[in-house]
Amino acid sequence: MRKKIVAGNWKMNKTLDEGLALASEVANIANDEITDDAIAVLCTPFIHLSAVGKIVAGSNKVFLGAQNMSEHAGGAYTGDISADMLNSVGVNYVILGHSERREYHNESNAELASRVDAALANELTPIFCCGESLEVREAGTHVDFVSNQLKESLFHLDAEAFKKIVIAYEPIWAIGTGVTASSAQAQDMHKALRDGFAAQYGQDVADEISILYGGSAKPANAPELFSQPDIDGGLIGGASLKARDFVDIIKSY
């Protein structure tokens, strides 16, 4: 059975004290209320990681994630953070290739391939983001566009390595806009991605890959989205900044 994952991407929000309060509240509610069917991942800004790691340490329901990492092991890369540094504070997951990073920092598919390799080499689970703009969607080339992102960044991996990846599909036109892809649109895209994985690695491998939906999911629409056969959870932005909303999304399973 594929792992059901709801990851909260705090983005550039919360002071240290605010973040610790949020993490404590999420952990307390989640440990009491969510079943073993799903797990939560808190992807916090770098300043929170060490302290939040202590809050969630030992939990089998709430895990720690970072929002980005360098492909380099160390050195003169001011402002970057390495996989080894993330490991040292208990990080389990790392978001790679988020649409905002691709747009604002010009992250390329080749660069992300190197980051995936570095994450896996350090036993971090990549939450690898992919998705299309409104222009690409309206042109009807969204499946080819997103498939190419995955091919160029992930398909150099062998099957055993590929099975360690979590995919997050982000319809960019539905991030922070309040617009959500319909459950049918989201399912169609998730199914197309899984079919692509099956063509590359075989159906057994494809069936093991968790594919998260990352486009303005909230408590009101999560049950319908999560009921789709190829949607295995969510990468949650704004709603992850409210503990009750975030846990209610997880409980949609």
Q: Residue 145: count other Cβ atoms within 10 Å of its Cβ.
A: 16
**The two structure tokens encoding residue 69:** 């990492």
Q: Active-site residue 190, yes or no?
A: no
Choose, from 100, 107, 111, 170, the residue flagged as catalytic: 170
Expressed in percent and rounded to 5, the helix, strand and coil fractions of the chain are 50, 15, 35
Q: Active-site residue 107, yes or no?
A: no
Q: Does an H or E element contain 7, and which?
A: strand 4-9
Distances (CA, A) of 172 to 36, 102, 108, 137, 218: 31, 11, 16, 10, 16
Q: Does an H or E element contain 234, and which?
A: strand 233-236
Residues 6+ apart with CB under 8 A from 246: 6, 8, 26, 40, 236, 239, 240
Choose, from 98, 100, 142, 190, the residue flagged as catalytic: 98
- CA 80 – CA 108 distance, rounded (Å): 16
Query: CA dihedral in degrees (19, 33, 182, 63; nearest 10)?
Result: 50
Which phi-psi region, left, alpha or beta, contains residue 194 (left: φ > 0; alpha: ψ -120 to 50)?
A: alpha
Give catalytic residues, as residue numbers.
98, 170
